[in-house]
């Protein structure tokens, strides 16, 4: 999958090319092999904003690169910053699609949350990303561009430390582009982030989990469970009707056996829906004995949707049942809530505002 061309710019996206494809291009244009390392260095380490910035390349190569490729294909539509240091970008893609990506600061950690698709087809009823279905997959270059845009928000001495594929979209429905982008993210010539610090979050698609298990790089896998039974999960995560909780857990176990990586299960707490003591007890029975971490996420309310976050005492009760049941559980803090940081929320809001302001320039 390649980045769509914008109407008036037919040049391909340089980030869509793998290092070996770029190497072929260089040799076809008469440049020695070591130029590849220099270009990758400028893209991933030295944070060039343009080909002109790549000052140790010969001027002729810089101008040939400029003629042949685009370095950026997306425009920044909105840039928000919350008091806790979280920053969020809403990007306008070449074909007019929009995706979001987020930089989170936590102590020394500099984590980024990246989108894999424009919209989402999974239909989780509480999530803003999938309200209008899926538009298309992002290309490798568009996934990498989000990472590089966020990296360039950091001061020079700071590096990205973690990546989570938890933005818009279902990464396992666009696995080729996601893996191609993550290979560069983990490579020392790319962003140099250990695969242990790269998380792929999925609604749970067993065939794709099995494919991922066979992939040479064992990334960290997070499964968005959100319900302990099929009856409840079929309602909250409609794609579950075709799969079922047990098939997902079996695939997760195979992933664990193949990679030795501890699994993460995600559980968004929705007031009065999946937060009962009975749900907690069912979760204990479901997860007991697995080498896993249960991440309980407070719901980030989405405008127009009826779901709410439970109050503290209910969360406390839920937690105690899990802890007493011997489940490894962590209750995540909400970050960036002042800036609509839950996936798909900013795009949603912009769409609502843009409809009201015909210029589309509402920031
Ligand atoms: N499709 C993938 C990755 C994207 S969503 C997946 O389902 O895992 C990343 C996580 O954020 C998922 O667990 C998702 O259910 C959760 N999420 C979606 N909307 C949310 C909201 N409004 N508040 C809190 N978490 C949300």
Q: What is the model's pLDDT at position 345?
A: 60
**pLDDT value, residue 362:** 30
**Domain spanning 14-68, CATH class:** mainly alpha
> Are the CB atoms for 95 and 344 separated by under 8 Å?
no
pLDDT tens per residue, range 167-180? 999 999 999 999 99
335 or 3: which leads in pLDDT:
3
pLDDT in tens, 187-232: 999 999 999 999 999 999 999 999 999 998 999 999 999 999 999 9
CA of 127 to the centre of ligand 1 (A): 6
pLDDT band of residue 140 (cuts 50, 70, 90) is very high
Does the beta carbon of 209 sit less than 6 angstroms from any atom of ligand 1? no
Q: What is the mean pLDDT of residues 93-115?
A: 95
Domain ranges, ordered by start, for the chain: 14-68, 75-356
Mean pLDDT value across residues 135-145: 98
170 is catalytic: no
175, two tokens? 């696995």
Nearest CA to ligand 1 atom 24: 299
SS3 label, residue 295: strand
To test the pocket of ligand 1, the residue of 116, 127, 235, 303 to mutate (highest count of ligand atoms within 8 Å of its CB) is 127
Q: Summarize pLDDT for 268-280 with one digit per residue, the tens.
A: 999 999 999 999 9
- The helix/strand/coil state of 89 is strand
Other beta carbons within 10 angstroms of residue 132's beta carbon come to 14
**Residue of 87, 100, 142, 145 marked catalytic:** 100
Our CA dihedral for 160, 162, 166, 171, rounded to 10 degrees, sits at 100
Verify whether ligand 1 is closer than 6 Å to residue 202 (CB atom). yes
Judge whether 14-68 and 75-356 match in fold. Answer: no
* Core vs surface per residue 316-330: b (16+ CB within 10 A) or e: eebbebbeeeebbbe
- Is the pLDDT reported for residue 156 higher than 80? yes
Q: What's the pLDDT band for 358 if we cut at 50, 70, 90?
A: very low
Q: Can you give the pTM of this predicted structure?
A: 0.93
Whether the per-residue pLDDT at 360 is higher than 70: the answer is no
Evaluate: CB of 102 within 6 angstroms of ligand 1: no
Mean per-residue pLDDT for 304-318? 94
By the 8 A CB rule, do 202 and 249 touch?
no
For the domain bounded by 75-356, which CATH number is listed? 3.20.20.70
Tell me the average pLDDT of the chain: 92
């Amino acid at each position: 999958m390649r980045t769509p061309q914008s109407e008036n710019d037919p040049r391909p996206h340089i980030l869509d090319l793998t290092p070996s494809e770029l190497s072929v291009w260089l040799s076809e244009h008469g440049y020695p092999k070591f130029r590849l390392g220099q270009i990758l260095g400028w893209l991933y380490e030295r944070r060039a904003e343009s080909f002109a910035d790549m000052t140790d390349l010969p001027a002729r190569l810089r101008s040939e690169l400029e003629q042949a490729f685009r370095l950026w294909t997306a425009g920044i539509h909105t840039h928000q910053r919350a008091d806790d240091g979280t920053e969020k970008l809403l990007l306008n893609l070449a074909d007019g699609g929009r995706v979001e990506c987020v930089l989170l600061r936590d102590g020394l950690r500099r984590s980024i949350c990246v989108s894999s698709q424009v919209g989402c087809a999974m239909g989780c009823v509480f999530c803003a990303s999938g309200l209008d279905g899926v538009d298309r997959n992002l290309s490798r270059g568009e996934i990498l561009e989000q990472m590089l845009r966020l990296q360039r928000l950091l001061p020079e001495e700071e590096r990205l430390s973690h990546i989570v594929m938890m933005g818009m979209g279902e990464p396992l429905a666009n696995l080729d582009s996601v893996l191609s982008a993550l290979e560069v993210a983990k490579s020392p010539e790319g962003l140099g982030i250990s695969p242990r610090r790269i998380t792929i979050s999925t609604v749970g698609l067993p065939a794709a989990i099995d494919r991922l298990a066979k992939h040479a790089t064992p990334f960290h896998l997070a499964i968005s469970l959100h319900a302990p039974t099929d009856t409840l999960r079929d309602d909250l995560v409609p794609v579950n009707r075709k799969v079922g909780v047990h098939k997902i857990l079996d695939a997760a176990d195979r992933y664990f056996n193949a990679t030795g990586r501890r699994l993460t299960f995600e559980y968004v707490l929705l007031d009065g829906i999946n937060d009962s003591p009975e749900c907690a007890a069912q979760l204990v029975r479901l997860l007991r004995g697995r080498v896993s971490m249960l991440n309980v996420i407070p719901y980030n309310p989405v405008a127009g949707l009826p779901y709410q976050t439970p109050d503290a005492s209910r969360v406390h009760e839920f937690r105690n049942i899990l802890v007493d049941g011997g489940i490894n559980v962590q209750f995540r803090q909400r970050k960036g809530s002042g800036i609509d940081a839950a996936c798909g929320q900013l795009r949603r809001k912009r769409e609502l505002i843009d409809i009201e302001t015909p210029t589309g320039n509402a920031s």
